[in-house]
Structure 1
Amino acid sequence: MTGKFDNWNDRDIGDVIDAYPMAAIAAHDGDFHMTDMPVLLERNADGRPTALLGHLPRHAPIYPVLNKDSRCLLSFHGPSAYISPAMAGKSDWAPTWNFVVVRIAAEIAFSDELTDEALVRTVAHMEQNEQTPWTIDSLGPRYAKLRSGVIGFRARILSISARFKLGQDESDETFSHILGALKDDALVRWMKRMRDRA
């Protein structure tokens, strides 16, 4: 059964990861291992998430762990903010936290043949809104040296879970009061977007 905070769709997932591609990547081999890297979401023609593309430093402690057991969890954090009673305009209202988080369980496959693709596409994604986008070609001969320290990967998506906790039981008046007090435009947009989801 779909709950109040997990009534999301594929477009919601894609929009979060596109805007907040820095993922916490976690693996386990008796000990917990985690690293943070930018990761891109790949979709099929219908917009359904199919895989994740990224790269890891070869010296990262998580790299040999994932070579032994390819299963991992990637966590993407969207906008978030503490919501105080003052922001709600109600002293008898309990504080809360509004946030967006997407978690993807995946099987990761490393390949040096993916390294260039992962690096070029990641840079292009991050530079897409720049007036004069920077490209990897600008590195010249330095690129080969920097490239040798990382390896590309594609991760097959096993499952997706998400929480879009962007409001609870606020009246329209209280909700509007919170929106007016927030300084995070992205959070405001997401709150408005998810407000009418049943």
Structure 2
Amino acid sequence: MSGPFERYSDADVAALIAGYPLAWVIGDAADPAAVCQLPMIGEYDAAGRLVSLIGHMARRNPLHAHFTANPRALFLFSGPNGYISPQHADRRDWAPTWNFAHLRIAAAVAFDEALTDAALDALIDAEEGGRARPWRAAELGARRDKLAAMIIGFRAGVESVHGRFKLGQDEQPETFRAIVTHHPDPELRSWMERFAARRNDGGEPK
């Protein structure tokens, strides 16, 4: 049976990936050349469940050769996190802690040259969306094709998702309210309130 920090929804997974897209991509934890950070975009089925991650990497990245030989990969997404002081809790008899949210996703990587443009555009659209004048890759002109030739797109089919969202679910209501009132990180406060609202409503993650 999962504990309170392992109870989360498909929407929580999607929100964390969208809000914190830079993931550690691990092919072999024992080989420093087979570990790097890459921004990723989630793909979801009709029910909202994560089914794959798409991204791109330089062809000269050692992970290109590694995943061509062995597609097994681990993606680590780190979301909001922060130290929680007894001062934030407004209690001197309370031990400090650290709140955080993260995902561990096991997947199989498949490179696809035909996916390169779509992977680039998906990331650009996600990061440029909402700007008054969103940038588009076409603005690079002739340089776009030259730069695109140096990278390759890939899709990672998701095999398992394990998350841990330690966001104050185990705190007493008055302590929780004090932390949300006093903590300086608005993102961490927002995620704490996201899970608190569900708990207060008596709802379970979907």
User: Where on the TM-score scale, by shorter chain, does this alignment land: which range?
Assistant: over 0.9
Instruction: Spell out, residue by residue over 1:131-171, the C-alpha distance to the aligned partner (whole angstroms, 9 max, x if none).
Output: 11111011111111111111000010000000000015322
List alignment gaps of at least 5 residues for structure 2.
none
**Corresponding residue of 1:10:** 10
- Deviation of the 1:30 alpha carbon: 5.8
Q: Give secondary structure in 1 for the equivalent of 2:132.
A: coil
List alignment gaps of at least 5 residues for structure 1.
none
**Corresponding residue of 1:28:** 28
**Corresponding residue of 2:125:** 124
- Pair 1:72 & 2:73 matched: yes
**Corresponding residue of 1:181:** 182
CA RMSD of aligned residues (A): 1.5
- Pair 1:102 & 2:103 matched: yes
Cα distance in 2, alignment partners of residues 58 and 104 from structure 1: 23
- Deviation of the 1:2 alpha carbon: 1.9
- Deviation of the 1:31 alpha carbon: 2.7
- Pair 1:160 & 2:161 matched: yes
- Deviation of the 1:29 alpha carbon: 8.1
Cα distance in 1, alignment partners of residues 92 and 133 from structure 2: 49
Structure 1 stretch displaced more, 151-160 or 188-197:
188-197
Q: Give secondary structure in 1 for the equivalent of 2:46.
A: coil
- With normalisation by structure 2, the TM-score equals 0.91
Q: Which amino acid aligns with 1:109?
A: A
| 8 Å Cα contact 2:4-2:170 kept in structure 1 | no
| 8 Å Cα contact 2:86-2:94 kept in structure 1 | yes
- Deviation of the 1:186 alpha carbon: 1.8
Cα distance in 2, alignment partners of residues 143 and 56 from structure 1: 15
Show the 5 A alignment for 1:38-117. 38-117=39-118
More helix by share: 2
Identity score, percent: 40
| 8 Å Cα contact 2:169-2:195 kept in structure 1 | no
Cα distance in 2, alignment partners of residues 131 and 194 from structure 1: 32
Q: Which amino acid aligns with 2:156?
A: A
More strand by share: 1
